[in-house]
């Protein structure tokens, strides 16, 4: 008889860590600093397959979480079974996500609440369903690699090796149902308020480029001083998964005006380096934390919860709403490999749905249908002799 483990009171220690490594970029080390060899072999396989350093780092963190859980329940990765994977998912569903813990959060709205201005939900304290599903995918890939290379057991993750699932379900076992979220595009009125709340030309230039190019946060941070071509109306970025390569993407003319204003007051150091620098001394290239603080300051002033990815949603919503744009144009501008990925950006905003409903309610109701069939009584008398009206 299989016992159901009590994961509510389970203490998962913060043992081991993800560390940078010159050749593989990221590895997992134990408390003594020794590299966990099975993970290293798996990451080497990912490196040979051409995955990005960000992907390898993400996989290392998922495997680190699994190794810590195995240590907490008194087993090892090569001795874990399907029941342990089940309890791992149960633990993820109830455990707080340390990445959501921030200092100085006393004035923050409750986790999971809805912002009255943007209509967006604040992040919950636990692990999101997508995070749990991603962890299962990483575990499945890890065990499949170790099994096929003869260095590990059969995968304990249901669905690996296309094995038959004994419990019929619409999703594979332990896969979480991902809730449907409302579109994250910012309304035009919200954009005006947001832009007015920005306090310097650097932040205005950042928002203008993000809105008119659909650049992700990492792509914005990759921009350089010499990667600006105002004559052609394009900027150079390192795209997601670009592995160090750069591409040119179009941006609106207004964004180059704000870039020029920012460059006029930008410190003239490292003219061939990163475009976006910190405003305070010593001037350093902005990192993701500094970029996030730009909107954190705006959110505190406006009482909103905007993120940089909201601007990408706004950009895609605009081009998908333009009848002059084709789907292939939108795909190229969004830099998506597949057209299916545009579905998440194509939904109408909440304010647009409200306006559409109001138009429907304001229209007069349609007239009731009328019977158009009518037979002449003389014709009926000929067809049906003796019929009286």
Domain parsing of the chain, residue ranges: 17-99+125-162, 188-345
At residue 248, the 3 state secondary structure works out as: strand
- 98 contacts 284 by C-beta, under 8 angstroms: no
The angle that helices 253-265 and 201-213 make with each other, rounded to 10 degrees, is 150
Q: Which of 151, 127, 157 is nearest to 139 (CA)?
A: 157
Q: How far apart are CA 90 and CA 10, in angstroms?
A: 11
Half-sphere exposure of 260 (CA within 13 A, CB side): 9
Q: Which parts of the chain have pLDDT scores under 50?
A: 1, 105, 163-168
Q: Topology of domain 188-345, per CATH? A: hpI Integrase; Chain A (1.10.443)
Residue 118: predicted pLDDT: 86
- What is the second-level CATH architecture of the domain 17-99+125-162? Orthogonal Bundle (1.10)
Helix ranges (H only) for the chain are 37-48, 53-72, 82-94, 129-148, 188-197, 201-213, 217-221, 253-265, 288-302, 308-321, 327-334, 350-362, 377-383
pLDDT for the residue numbered 309: 94
Q: What is the pLDDT of residue 369?
A: 74
What's the confidence (pLDDT) of residue 372? Answer: 62
From residue 205, how far is each of 235, 264, 322, 335, 349 by CA, in Å? Answer: 13, 12, 24, 21, 25
Is residue 28 a contact partner of residue 36, using CB atoms and an 8 Å limit?
A: yes
Question: Which burial class, exposed, middle or buried, applies to 221 when counting CB atoms under 10 A from its CB (0-12, 13-18, 19+)?
Answer: buried
Three-state DSSP at 224 gives strand
Locate 173 and state its tokens. 């076992």
């Amino acid at each position: 008889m299989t016992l159901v483990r009590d994961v509510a009171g389970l203490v998962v220690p913060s043992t081991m860590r993800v560390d940078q490594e010159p050749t593989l970029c990221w590895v997992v080390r134990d408390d003594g600093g020794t590299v966990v060899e099975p993970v290293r072999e798996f990451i080497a396989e990912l490196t040979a397959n051409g995955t990005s350093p960000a992907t390898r780092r993400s996989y290392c963190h998922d495997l680190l979480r699994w190794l810590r859980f195995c240590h907490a329940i008194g087993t090892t990765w090569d001795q874990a079974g399907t029941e342990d994977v089940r309890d791992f998912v149960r633990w993820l569903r109830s455990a707080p996500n340390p990445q959501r813990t921030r200092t100085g959060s006393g004035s923050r709205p409750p986790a999971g609440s809805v912002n009255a201005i943007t209509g967006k939900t604040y992040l919950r304290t636990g692990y999101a369903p997508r995070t749990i599903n991603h962890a299962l995918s990483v575990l499945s890939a890890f065990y499949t690699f170790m099994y096929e290379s003869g260095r590990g057991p059969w995968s304990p993750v249901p669905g690996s090796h296309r094995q038959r699932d004994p419990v019929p379900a619409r999703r594979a076992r332990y896969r979480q149902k991902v809730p449907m979220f409302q579109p994250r595009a910012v309304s035009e009125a919200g954009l005006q308020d947001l832009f007015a709340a920005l306090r310097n030309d650097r932040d205005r230039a950042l928002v203008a480029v993000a809105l008119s190019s659909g650049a992700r946060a990492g792509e914005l941070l990759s921009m350089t001083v010499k990667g600006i071509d105002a004559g052609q109306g394009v900027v150079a970025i390192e795209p997601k998964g670009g592995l160090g390569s750069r591409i040119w993407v179009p941006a609106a003319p207004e964004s180059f005006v704000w870039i020029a204003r920012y460059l006029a007051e930008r410190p003239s150091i490292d003219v061939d380096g990163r475009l976006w620098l910190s405003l305070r001394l010593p001037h350093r290239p902005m990192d993701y934390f500094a970029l996030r603080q730009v909107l954190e300051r705006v959110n505190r002033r406006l009482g909103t919860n905007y993120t940089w990815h909201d601007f990408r949603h706004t950009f895609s919503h605009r081009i998908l709403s333009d009848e002059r744009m084709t789907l292939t144009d939108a795909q190229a501008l969004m830099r998506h490999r597949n057209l299916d990925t545009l579905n998440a950006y194509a939904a109408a905003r909440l304010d647009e749905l409200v306006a559409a409903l109001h138009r429907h309610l304001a229209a007069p109701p349609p007239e009731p249908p009328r019977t158009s069939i009518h037979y002449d009584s003389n014709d009926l008398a000929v067809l049906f002799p003796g019929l009286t009206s």
